[in-house]
Structure formats: structure tokens, C-alpha cells
Chains A and B, each alone.
Chain A
Amino acid sequence: MATAAHAESPRETVAHAVVLTDNADEQRRLVSGLAGNSDPDIPRLLNLWKESGFFIATAPAGGWQGLAEGAKVAVTLGDDKDADDKQAASVLATGAPLRDPAGQPVRLVATDLDNADTDFDLRLAMKTVLDLAAVTAADPVQRRQVVEQIGLAQDPAKLPVLRERVKVETDAHVQQALRVAIALLELRSEDAATQIAATNTLGAVRALSARDALTTLARETETTRPQVARAAQAAGKAIETHLQVVNFFGTLFRGLSLASVLLVVAIGLAITFGLMGIINMAHGELIAIGAYTTYLVQNLFGNGMALSPFGWSFRLPGLNAGGWFYESYFLFALPLSFLSAALAGVLLERCVIRFLYRRPLESLLATWGVSLVLQQLLRSVFGANNVQVYSPSWLSGHWTVFDVLLGWNRVFVIAFAVAIIAGTWALLTKTPFGLLIRAVTQNRAMAACMGVRTERVNVLTFAFGSGLAGLAGAFLAQIGNVGPSLGQNYIVDSFMTVVVGGVGNLFGTVISALGIGVTDQGLQQILGNPVLGKILVLCAIILFLQWKPAGLFVTRSRNLEG
């Protein structure tokens, strides 16, 4: 087989390697042999292999076309799952359908087949192949990542490839990355002058990735080549300074994103607690309902799901969507989370809260009971375990701007928070419904006298606040876990945010979320300890309220007891 490999196309080589499950070394050798090959098929094939997209089928009695009984063949399966879960099988090496001796296409069940696995060493080999292929890839972002990786590995053997590339590279970022990578590789040089030049390059471009390499170099050359060590130290210092600036901006961004999370979870509370005066301890569970709705929608877009609440089993069919359509589930999940949580809010308002408008502190106790019941219900329906919610690919990447990492999910949460705030503000101030809400919350009796149907406004306002909690849940599902006690992690924080901002003032909530978020992340950065920062923030809040007992923005009232 090894001799045949020379004449094989990459596709055939991969197909060969896949079935060699008992010979990891040969697998690795075959894959490594693909290095330098510019066939555009290679990255796709290797990635598919890595993600378990290949199967190994064993020919049954009677064999298949071109295969004797018991022979192993690498296959891929089509998307057309039929009633028996069977899928059309194609031979990996040729791409043609797998046929039985009679020439009929063979259909197979995925779970009957062995999944083609990869192990760590094999993936490392794949990575080398992919890296080298990616140096010339069309996508500049990918090129840059690969070049950075090559630089870190400090393998001088790759120096020629990089030097070749740097001559023709047009993208400025990649050009820069190439220079850093080359300098990193040159640190391993035997020649002191080259080393010093490389060190200076690294210091001049403030390459964060070179920090460790420079420290090592400084230590290694301290006695043998002091001038190199000095240059390395100087470059290291320049990078350290740069790092502090990066950390400052990074912290600012992270603070902003934490603030947005706080805002998203607290905005619903700002309506129900701030405007209506209901201390809704079940707010966290409304968030959880939103998150579970997202989970449901995700599964409905996928293969459906089975549930067994209270010993009663049933199955929800799925759309079996794939590709971008499946990835778009989140867009559908957002409005549905809003609706489901709003519906739960309506039920909660009608069954419990409407009796308690005059007894706010008791609404706290009753809704706490509701929260216990809801938690256990979620546990009974969806199980006590956390459930899996996948982030769509457009939420799970990042940009690096000025060495600061900007996660797409974090950028999205900031935009999301801005949108929600803008929407809520517009609703409250620019629509007739908003006018009614403000009228009822400011003076219920007077509003009633003017013919406002206060009961209905109450229900709708509460439903709106709950719906916002549901939206928060849909979003939290992307960055955190989805489980029955999801809401518990956020409830104290969201009350804190609303209270500090000043009850009944949306703008105050925004400012307080920003303040808390940035302070928290800043302290975490300074103290290097996530908990201590949080404790200090809580203490700061307690002290802050001494100074402004009713929060940042006080709703003025003539009522002495107010």
C-alpha cells in the first residue's frame, strides 16, 4: 500500500489512511506525506476526518463491488436519512456510491459503522499539513493564524517557507505576522548578530507571543552571550509595557461586556421591580425559561428531541435542518424565548402577583415559592443535568484588535444590550402603551379614574418585563450553562443593578450596570482574583447606597413615605 501511495491522489491517500485504524504510525506517515501538496481538497478532507465525518464500513457476506467479504472501506454518508435511519454511502477514495455486487447503491446506518477516529498525534500531523497549506490559503485571517503558530513552534526548518512567503505577501497584517514568525525562528540562530537583530524586531513590533521565547533566550545566553541577553531583556521590557496597555483596554472591553450581561438580565427586573414594584424572585427562573426555549428551538431545528416529564414520554419531531439554516435557529429562538417567558409572566401575574400589588415585601415570598416550584418543574421536564446549547458559528469566533481579544459573542451581547435598551426606551416613551404603563405605575388610582384599564396594563407590563427576562435567557444560553438553577446565579446581581441605578429609572440601570461591570473586571485584573473583586464590588455598593440611599437617579415624589 505504501508503494501505491505515490501515485495516489490526496483523496485516495486519506481514504487509505482512514482504514488503517490498527497502525497509527502508518496513518501519521501517510498524512504527513500530504505536507506541501497544494491540492485544495486536503484541508476539507482532513477537517472532515477530524470532526468524525468519515465512517469505516466492513463488507458483509457476499462483499461489495470491488471489495471482498470482510474488507474495510472508508465511506461518507449522505444527508438523506430515511425511515430506517439509513443513509446513502459513498466510497471516500472515489466519491462514487458504494454498490453491492448487483450494482445497487448501498444504504447504511451510521450507528452500525465505526466512526473514523483521530488521536492527538495524528491531529498534530494533520495540523502541520494544514498549517503549511494555509500559509498560502486565500483567507488572510487564516494565513495569519498559521504563521503565528509556526513562529511559536520555533522550528528553523520552516524558515525557508516563511522567507519565500514574506516576499509575495500583500496583506499588511500577515506581513507583520510573518516578520514576527521569522524573527522568532531566528532567535534559535547560532549567530549573535542575527539573534540581536531578531530580538530588536520583536521588541519594535511589541510581539506578545515572543515574551516566553525572549525570557528563555535571556536566561540561556546570560553567561555565554551577554549582549544578546541584554537585547532580549530590553525587548522583553518593551513588550511588558505594551502588555499593560493591552490589558487596560482588554479590561475595559470585558467590563463593557459584563455590564451588558448585567444589563440584559436586569432590564426585565427594571420593569417589573422598578416600575411595578413587584419583587419578583422568580425572575431568574423566567430567564431559565428563555434559555430552555432556546434549547428546544435548537433541537427542533436539529433532530428533534424526546422528553419524559413525570413518567410520560413523548417525542418532538425535528426539522433536520443543516448548514446555515440550522445555524439561524438562534434568530428564531430570540422571539420565541420572549414569548414563552412573557406567557409564563402572564400566568404568574394572574395567579399570584395580582393579589400582592399592595404588599410588595410579600410578593418577594410568594415569588420565591414560585421560583422553587419552577426550578423543580424544569428539572422534572428536562432532567437535572445541564443541557447542550450550541453557539452558531457566527457567535463563536473572535477578532484581535490591537492585541485585544474581542469575542464575537461578547460584541454581540453589547449590541444586543444596546438594542434592548433602545427598544425598551422607545416603547416606554414613544408609544401609547408606554404612556399607559407610566400612567399606571406613577399613579394607579388617578389612571383608573381617567379610564385606563389598569388590570390589563398590569398584565401587559409584567408580561413585557418577563419577556425581556426570556430574551436574557436566550442570550445567556450562548455564554453560560443551561440548567434548572441557571437563574439563581444572576438573581442577586440583577437586583443589585436595579437598586444601585435607582428604582424606576431605566437610564440609572444602564449607568449602574456599566459601573458595576467595569469595576468588577478592573478589580479582577488588579487583584488577580475573581472573587475578591466581586466582594469589593458588593461592599462598594453597600457604601454607595449610604451616599445615595435611593440609587443613582431618584424618582421624585411628594410622598414622605415613598
Chain B
Amino acid sequence: MKLHRYLSSLLLGGALALCQGSVARAQAPTPAAKTTDTVKVGVLHSLSGTMAISETSLRDILLFAFDEINAKGGVLGKQIEPVVVDGASNWPLFAEKAKQLLDQDKVAVTFGCWTSVSRKSVLPVFEEKKGLLFYPVQYEGEEMSPNIFYTAEAVNQQATPAVDYMLSKGYKKFYLLGSDYVYPQTTNLILLEYLRSKGVPLENIGGGLRKDEAGNIISAGKYTPFGHTDYQQIVAEIKQFTSGGKACVINTLNGDTNVPFFKEYAAAGLTAETCPVVSFSIAEDEFRGLPAKQLVGQLGCWTYFQSIKSPENKKFIEDFQKWLKATNTQGIVKQGRVVDSPMVLSYDGVYLWKKAVEQAKSFDVDKVVAELEKGISFTGPGGVVTTQKNHHLTKSVYIGETKADGQFKILQEFKNVVGEPFLKGKFKAAVTTPVTNAANALAVAHP
């Protein structure tokens, strides 16, 4: 009986605490709510589950961008009111949350998603309910939804420039390794076509090929599942692959599994000098969880590095650090923070949207998209980014190599590369370079 009483008081107490919590929340409005109108903006990232590792930082940078804009008077005189929801690394939940944001909260725009599958799961929702989503993470392309803006790197803004760089450095053998999902699979298929168009023979491409009944190659490279922890076998294979020299690894492993891979890699005595690894999913933020000292000299390719020396970048980093110190939002880690490309592309997305809204003088999705398609430029921390009619961005691409402090040293810059989502089948013809502007930069790379 005591137990019953204990139990009921506990439940009651819990319920009360929850109510109080929500009341307290309701009574503590943002400073904006007091003064002026607000416009609701959705933030749809995983704050729990496997993807929280990567996505939490994007939430933080978005809140920073909103505060920055609000402090300067908001958008069209309205203060931004963020609606943060947790997709919990659960893809159907992403779809549910997207519906909730669009139907219940009636958000003007949503910033969110990291994995391809989360984007695929919300895409029909945004198309059906005529919403607008900004997607900030490097992806496989082969998609162009009228309701999504891809501030992300397309494959030709990351993978092909990186491979060009490696070819120019005299590498002849390429081992393709990735997590088993769409982005690595597609990227590696495109790279396979690209490498062959550059004259790299099939036997110099490691990781294995798979063909369908008709003999078409449908998969190239070695794939491991998410959460894979044992890379002994693969590293042993790479070690043999590289025993002839002039080999490198093209790594599209997803964030988490990179740690066991690189630890095994280093333990096998492989270094950047013997066999460099070019990684497409490791940015400064992921480096916080990697043994950076063992990775000195490994390569990365993004459209932004924290080490870029420009006044915009300097100010951006300083302001973000200041904001981190001052913010009291729960769940934001304040120490040892860095910024990286997905974060900056999220940030750019917010400002591009703001500019588009101001040009359209309306929050209406159709009008905003129309403005975006006309081409809006914003000078962000990574340089000028310009929206394209195909919902991607023109921006500069950087190749960098890692340093012991987890930052990248920039080795080469490709200026104003046009984002091109549809690349498959483009490299069948012998030697063609991907896109106009990149071609100039590449010409420099191959004198």
C-alpha cells in the first residue's frame, strides 16, 4: 500500500513537473515574441540516435544564425522563431516531424536532414505540402526536387576534384571504400566512370566490382554496414593493394565507422606518405572524435575549411565562439567547438533564404523559390555562394590535408564550381572535364 502511495505520488509529481516545464517554456518567450511579429522556421535534425554525432552541430549553427539575424532586426521585420524537432535518427519519424512542421507549425522554411534516407523520407512530404527545405550535406546527386534547395556539395564539387588532385600527384591505384548506402555507392560508380575516362585501368581500382547478369558494373568498391567495428580484413587487403606503391584510398565511410578504420589503418603502419586516404565524410567536426595525430597528411575535400583566411571567415568563427559562450540553450556543448563545411552550408542556407525572402517581399514558398532560382549570391565564410536554377549552389571547392590539431591545410582551390546533380553517364566519353568553371581550375592542375 505504501508502494501504491509512493507510486501515485511519484506519477503525480512527474506529471506536475512536466506541466511546470511546459508552462515555464511557454512563459519564457524569446525576446522577439514580446516586441514584434515572428516567423516560424523549422529545424529538423537528429539530436539523438546514431546520427546525433553529426547533426547536433548543425542545430547549433542554425540557432546561431537565427540569433544573429534576429539581433539585426530579423527577416522582413519579423523575428525568426525556431521550431526545433528531433528526428531521432529514425526515418519514418523524420517524415512525421516534417508533416508536423508543415501542417501544425506552418513553418516558412525548414533547415534539416543529414543522411540521404532522411531526405528521401521527407521529400514527398515537402513536395505534397509545398514546403521548402534547405539540405546542407554533401550527397550523391541524382535528385532535383522543386521543394528542396541543395546547399550541399554535389559529387562534382567534391569527389571528382579530389580525384583530379590525386591523379595530378601521380597516384595510379585507387581503392574505393565506403559505407553501404546510396551516397558511397553512387559516388563510387561515378568515380569509376571518371577514373576510366582518365585512363586508369580496371585492375588499378581496388575494393572489388560487381556486375549484373548483362555484365554492366553495378557496384564498385568495398562496403561496410553502419556501426561496423572490425576493419582488420579490409586494412590487410589495402596493405596488399598498396604494396606496389602509388596507391591511395578513396574513403566514403560514414562518420562513425571512420574511427575503427583509421585506428586499424595506423596500427598497420599505413600513413599518408605510403598510401593517403581521401575522405569525403570527415570534416573538422568529425575530427574531434578521431586520433588526429595519426592522421596527419590525410586528405579531405570540401567547399569550406575552418582554416580559410578571409575576413568573413574570421568574423564568423569569432562570432560563433562568442555566441556559444553566451547561449543558454540546453544541450549545446561549449568547449572545443569547431566549424566545418556542413555547418557553414547550413549557415549560408539561412542567409540565402533571408535574401530571397527580402527580394520576394514575401514568405510565400513559390515566390521565395522563384527568387532563389534567379540566382542569389551571398558572401559566406567559405567565399561567395550563388544559387542556381537547378537548386544547387555555385561555390569554391578546396582540397586540404589534415594537421595534427585537427584542422586542414588548404592545398588547392577550385573557384566557382557549378553544382551538377546529374553526373552518371557523363564521363563515358574519353577526356572531358565536368563543368565549365571547374575546367579552368583543372587545367591549372594538369599543366
A258 touches B230 (CB 8 A): yes
The interface residues of chain A lying within 8 Å CB-to-CB of B331 are 379-380
- Near B by CB (< 8 A), chain A positions 201-226 give 208-213, 215
The interface residues of chain A lying within 8 Å CB-to-CB of B146 are none
Decide yes or no: A390 and B291 within 8 Å by CB, A50-B296, A211-B243 being known contacts.
yes
A409 touches B330 (CB 8 A): no
| Shortest distance from the beta carbon of A284 to any chain B beta carbon, whole Å | 12
CA distance A488 to B292 in the complex (A): 25
A407 touches B267 (CB 8 A): yes
A120 touches B50 (CB 8 A): no
Partner pick for B53 among A385, A389, A410, CB 8 A cutoff: A385
| Shortest distance from the beta carbon of A497 to any chain B beta carbon, whole Å | 14
Partner pick for A211 among B230, B244, B269, B334, CB 8 A cutoff: B244
The interface residues of chain A lying within 8 Å CB-to-CB of B90 are none
- Interface bin, chain A: 35 or more
Residue among A257, A386, A484 facing the most chain B CB atoms (10 A cut-off): A386
The interface residues of chain A lying within 8 Å CB-to-CB of B244 are 152, 209-213
B236 touches A478 (CB 8 A): no
CA distance A123 to B299 in the complex (A): 14
The interface residues of chain A lying within 8 Å CB-to-CB of B263 are 391, 396, 409, 478-480
- Near A by CB (< 8 A), chain B positions 16-66 give 47-50, 52-53, 56-57
A120-157 near B? 1/0 per residue, CB < 8 Å: 10011001000000000000000001000100111000
B411 touches A388 (CB 8 A): no
The interface residues of chain B lying within 8 Å CB-to-CB of A250 are 236
The interface residues of chain B lying within 8 Å CB-to-CB of A383 are 56, 333
Nearest-neighbor residue (CB-CB) of A53 within chain B:
B404
Interface segment among A163-171, A273-281, A307-315, A544-552: the answer is A307-315
B243 touches A384 (CB 8 A): no
Decide yes or no: A531 and B56 within 8 Å by CB, A254-B233, A409-B267 being known contacts.
no
Nearest-neighbor residue (CB-CB) of A305 within chain B:
B335
B273 touches A127 (CB 8 A): yes
Partner pick for A388 among B245, B256, B274, B290, CB 8 A cutoff: B290
B243 touches A481 (CB 8 A): no
The interface residues of chain A lying within 8 Å CB-to-CB of B180 are 531
Nearest-neighbor residue (CB-CB) of A386 within chain B:
B289
CA distance A210 to B240 in the complex (A): 10
CA distance A483 to B256 in the complex (A): 9
- Near B by CB (< 8 A), chain A positions 52-103 give 52
B234 touches A530 (CB 8 A): yes
A124 touches B328 (CB 8 A): no
Partner pick for A308 among B49, B267, B333, CB 8 A cutoff: B333
Residue A397 is within 8 A (CB to CB) of chain B in the complex: yes
CA distance A383 to B169 in the complex (A): 39
A52 touches B267 (CB 8 A): no
The interface residues of chain B lying within 8 Å CB-to-CB of A390 are 291, 293
B225 touches A531 (CB 8 A): yes
Partner pick for B267 among A310, A380, A388, A398, CB 8 A cutoff: A398
B232 touches A257 (CB 8 A): yes
| Shortest distance from the beta carbon of B277 to any chain A beta carbon, whole Å | 13
Residue A485 is within 8 A (CB to CB) of chain B in the complex: yes
- Near A by CB (< 8 A), chain B positions 255-278 give 255-260, 263-264, 266-269, 272-274, 276
Residue A521 is within 8 A (CB to CB) of chain B in the complex: yes
Nearest-neighbor residue (CB-CB) of A390 within chain B:
B291
A480 touches B52 (CB 8 A): no
Decide yes or no: A212 and B234 within 8 Å by CB, A398-B268, A483-B256, A531-B180 being known contacts.
no
Residue A376 is within 8 A (CB to CB) of chain B in the complex: yes
Residue A25 is within 8 A (CB to CB) of chain B in the complex: no
CA distance A414 to B294 in the complex (A): 23
Nearest-neighbor residue (CB-CB) of A381 within chain B:
B333
The interface residues of chain A lying within 8 Å CB-to-CB of B234 are 530
| Shortest distance from the beta carbon of B332 to any chain A beta carbon, whole Å | 8
Partner pick for B403 among A52, A208, A308, A397, CB 8 A cutoff: A52
Residue A370 is within 8 A (CB to CB) of chain B in the complex: no
Residue B120 is within 8 A (CB to CB) of chain A in the complex: no
A386 touches B404 (CB 8 A): no
Residue A331 is within 8 A (CB to CB) of chain B in the complex: no
A254 touches B56 (CB 8 A): no
The interface residues of chain A lying within 8 Å CB-to-CB of B403 are 52, 115, 117
B256 touches A481 (CB 8 A): yes
Residue A322 is within 8 A (CB to CB) of chain B in the complex: no
Decide yes or no: A387 and B56 within 8 Å by CB, A213-B244, A481-B260 being known contacts.
no
The interface residues of chain A lying within 8 Å CB-to-CB of B405 are 52, 115
- Given A209-B243, A480-B263, 9 additional A-B pairs, CB 8 A: A123-B273, A215-B203, A258-B230, A306-B335, A387-B289, A388-B288, A396-B266, A396-B267, A529-B223
**Chain A to chain B: the 10 pairs with minimum beta-carbon distance, closest first:** A386-B289, A212-B244, A481-B259, A383-B333, A152-B245, A407-B267, A384-B56, A384-B52, A306-B335, A209-B243
